């Protein structure tokens, strides 16, 4: 996995100063939200491409560890490896 943005990914900071990325996943009406750790290029038509920092709303997980959900940046839906994401999102922490 790549943790730096590849040529197809927008330039994004990891977590800027004053932000934290260690909180539990946020729930939405559609499912839990995860954050992509690595770039993932789709291998199959039903896959979902990921860029580091993308926020994903996950609706289901299969026994092989793949997740199905929506990439909130691209609004595309598909499958992606669960090992490429973490169940947390960046949020501002007041100091």
pLDDT digits (tens, 9 = 90+) for 30-44: 578 899 999 999 999
pLDDT for the residue numbered 22? 46
Chain centroid to CA 61: 14
Q: What is the CATH number of domain 24-89?
A: 2.30.30.40
Per the prediction, the chain carries an average pLDDT of 77
pLDDT for the residue numbered 31? 75
Q: Give the burial class of 38: count Cβ atoms within 10 A of its Cβ; 0-12 exposed, 13-18 middle, 19 or more buried.
A: middle
Instruction: Print burial letters for 43-82: b (CB count within 10 Å at least 16), e (below 16).
Output: eeeebbbbbbbbbbbbeeeeeeebbbbbbebeeeebbbbb
């Amino acid at each position: 996995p790549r943790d730096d943005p590849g040529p197809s990914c927008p330039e994004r900071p990891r977590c800027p100063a004053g932000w934290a990325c260690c909180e539990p996943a946020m729930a939405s009406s559609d499912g839990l939200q995860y954050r992509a750790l690595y770039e993932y290029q789709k291998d199959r038509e039903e896959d979902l491409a990921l860029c580091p920092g993308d926020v994903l709303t996950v609706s289901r997980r299969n026994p092989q560890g793949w997740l199905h959900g929506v990439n909130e940046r691209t609004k595309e839906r598909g499958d992606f490896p669960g090992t490429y994401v973490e169940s947390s999102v960046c949020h501002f922490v007041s100091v």
